[in-house]
Chain A
Amino acid sequence: MGLADIIIKLVLVVIIFAISLVIAMYSTYAERKIAAFFQDRIGPNRAGPWGLLQPLADGGKMFLKEEIIPTHANTFLFIAGPSLAILTACIGSAVIPWGQQMTIGSHVIDLQVADINVGILYIFGVVSLGVYGVMIGGWASNNKYSLLGAIRAASQNISYEISMGLSIIALLMVTGTLSLRQIAEQQHSWHWNILYQPLGFLLFIVCAFAETNRTPFDLPECETELVGGYHTEYSSMKLGFYLFAEYINMFISSAVMATLYWGGYNYPGMDWVLAHTGPAIGPLIGVVVLFAKIFLFIFFFMWVRWTIPRFRYDQLMDLGWKVLIPLAIANIIATGLWITFIK
């Protein structure tokens, strides 16, 4: 690996980092705007044209707010909580293949930060780490509402991780690899995994909603019961980090869903486009396609949020343990039978 490769990788890291932050920032704007459209309203429209500067105003406000650390809180963990939350949210994007290999001159550029052969496991591990941010923050606040919210978040995430893992196992039986790059390559043109794993995708997206703490699984921050949930005691940008982490998580899980089930950067007719645009521009069109899929998923996340009310806690647990896990296991068995006898 030469110096040029390292520089290219660094640039890629910075670009992806910046993109995920900007998307998270404008997700807050999109959320408010989309919520408004769903409710026959206009939404933020005062800061800049169509309210486009609203996220900047919100961010500026967050930074200028007084930073309060409760007297009896564990200061170190109190600060570590939101840091961990945003850290785990940001590192998930490292293994996602954003596009095919680009060839500029003699350089072959991988549009992926790290093509590790356990890509899915890495994402899974990062997602599980995300619980610690919530749990530590809730515990360190020394507030019963925070603690209850954190416990809810932890038990919810652990419950849904099981069925998420089981739904991925069925997918892995089809693909035969853990590397996200290879999974994306296998779905060339229109051979998307959603065609082979519709039930698996349904399970995965339900679990993704639960893992990102989005409605209808947003019990950790259930305002009516828990004041603010795990971030009750947080203020200033530490609160901002928690909210931000949620949107980054949404972006990453949308990217994972697009890559695993909806073909990633592949689209029908891509060979023709690639042949006509050349190896430098062609992959970029794939990147655009991937981002279009991601934005559709983010829109879907918001669409669901403004449609469905929150689950009750026992319903949440019932759904996770008594419905999703049996369904996921049935899906594994059905996939196994399909591979053995039909394929």
Chain B
Amino acid sequence: MESLSNKRKVLESKPLNFWERAYLPAIVQGLSITMKHFFRKPVTISYPEEQREFSENFRGMHSLKRDENGKERCTACGLCALSCPAEAITMIAAERQKGEEHLYREEKYAAVYEINMLRCIFCGLCEEACPKEAIYLDGNIVPADYLRKDFIYGKDKLVEAPLNQ
């Protein structure tokens, strides 16, 4: 039967000829291949001194963004938590008081915003769900830790540093 993909390869098992059985030509061939590698540039990245560059669409640790005036963009709408397939995000909303206008952009803000980094699968759906462009997975790799509770990141770790400091 004709194969549809045209990728099928028919392998014949012929008895080895004399030079193949002599084994030495194959050894010389192998030696020449390894010798080519001997002069090739090593692919190793010496980790602590050199660091591998991430790809452009790498998704790392989350950061909660501020706007151009340094106000927190998040309005605690909860769409990120809703969209999260791993249910890693939780938050408690609060109302902005008088005198806090320089801190929060909208009238409602997240008083508590927590991401469980052990649950997070770094899919980026929270990024896409956010209507305020407040959350981005643009950080580094989430570091290792000893206790499970230390993997629940609050606003202290997630919010971007203030502008003028």
A residues apposed to B, CB below 8 Å: 34, 36-42, 45, 303-304, 306-308
B35 interface contact, C-beta 8 A: yes
B57 interface contact, C-beta 8 A: no
Q: How far is the CA of A41 from the CA of B38 in the complex (A)?
A: 9
Q: Which residues of B contact A308 (CB under 8 A)?
A: 27, 30
Residue pair A42, B31 in contact (C-beta under 8 Å): no
Offer 10 A-B interface pairs, CB within 8 angstroms, sorted by A.
A34-B38, A40-B40, A40-B41, A41-B44, A42-B42, A42-B46, A307-B30, A307-B31, A307-B34, A308-B27
Q: Which residues of B contact A39 (CB under 8 A)?
A: 37
Q: Which residues of A contact B41 (CB under 8 A)?
A: 40
- Within B16-47, the residues touching A (CB, 8 Å) are 27, 30-31, 33-35, 37-38, 40-44, 46
B34's contact among A36, A38, A41, A42, by CB below 8 Å, is which?
A: A38
A40's contact among B31, B33, B35, B43, by CB below 8 Å, is which?
A: B43
B residues apposed to A, CB below 8 Å: 27, 30-31, 33-35, 37-38, 40-44, 46
Q: How far is the CA of A37 from the CA of B41 in the complex (A)?
A: 9
List 11 additional A-B contacts (Cβ < 8 Å) besides A36-B42, A42-B44: A41-B43, A303-B31, A303-B34, A303-B35, A304-B31, A306-B34, A307-B31, A307-B33, A307-B34, A308-B27, A308-B30
A37's contact among B27, B33, B38, B46, by CB below 8 Å, is which?
A: B38
Shortest CB distance B15–A (Å): 16
Residue of A nearest to B41 (CB): A40
Residue pair A41, B27 in contact (C-beta under 8 Å): no
Q: How far is the CA of A45 from the CA of B40 in the complex (A)?
A: 18
Q: Which residues of B contact A42 (CB under 8 A)?
A: 42, 44, 46
Q: How far is the CA of A36 from the CA of B40 in the complex (A)?
A: 11
Shortest CB distance A39–B (Å): 7
Q: How far is the CA of A303 from the CA of B41 in the complex (A)?
A: 18
Shortest CB distance A42–B (Å): 5
Q: Which residues of B contact A38 (CB under 8 A)?
A: 34, 37-38
Q: Which residues of A contact B33 (CB under 8 A)?
A: 307
Q: How far is the CA of A303 from the CA of B44 in the complex (A)?
A: 20
Residue pair A40, B42 in contact (C-beta under 8 Å): yes
Q: How far is the CA of A195 from the CA of B41 in the complex (A)?
A: 37
Shortest CB distance A54–B (Å): 16
Q: Which residues of A contact B27 (CB under 8 A)?
A: 304, 307-308
Shortest CB distance B17–A (Å): 16
Q: How far is the CA of A255 from the CA of B23 in the complex (A)?
A: 26
Q: Which residues of B contact A34 (CB under 8 A)?
A: 38
Q: How far is the CA of A307 from the CA of B37 in the complex (A)?
A: 11
Q: Which residues of B contact A41 (CB under 8 A)?
A: 42-44
Shortest CB distance A179–B (Å): 32
Q: How far is the CA of A39 from the CA of B88 in the complex (A)?
A: 42
Q: How far is the CA of A307 from the CA of B30 in the complex (A)?
A: 6
Max count, chain A CB within 10 A of own CB: residue among B27, B34, B37: B34
Shortest CB distance A291–B (Å): 21
Max count, chain B CB within 10 A of own CB: residue among A34, A36, A40: A40
Q: How far is the CA of A308 from the CA of B28 in the complex (A)?
A: 10
Q: Which residues of A contact B40 (CB under 8 A)?
A: 40
Q: Which residues of B contact A304 (CB under 8 A)?
A: 27, 31
Q: How far is the CA of A40 from the CA of B42 in the complex (A)?
A: 4
9 A-B pairs with the lowest CB-CB distances in the bound complex, closest first:
A307-B34, A42-B44, A307-B30, A38-B34, A42-B42, A37-B38, A40-B43, A41-B44, A40-B42
Q: How far is the CA of A40 from the CA of B43 in the complex (A)?
A: 6
Shortest CB distance A337–B (Å): 23
Q: How far is the CA of A306 from the CA of B30 in the complex (A)?
A: 10
Shortest CB distance A190–B (Å): 24
Q: How far is the CA of A303 from the CA of B33 in the complex (A)?
A: 11
Q: How far is the CA of A229 from the CA of B122 in the complex (A)?
A: 46
Shortest CB distance B128–A (Å): 39
Q: How far is the CA of A34 from the CA of B44 in the complex (A)?
A: 15
Q: Which residues of B contact A40 (CB under 8 A)?
A: 37, 40-44
Residue of A nearest to B36 (CB): A38
Shortest CB distance B116–A (Å): 37
Shortest CB distance B23–A (Å): 8
Shortest CB distance A243–B (Å): 23
Residue of B nearest to A306 (CB): B34
Q: Which residues of B contact A307 (CB under 8 A)?
A: 27, 30-31, 33-34
Q: Which residues of B contact A306 (CB under 8 A)?
A: 34
Q: How far is the CA of A110 from the CA of B60 in the complex (A)?
A: 70
Shortest CB distance B51–A (Å): 16
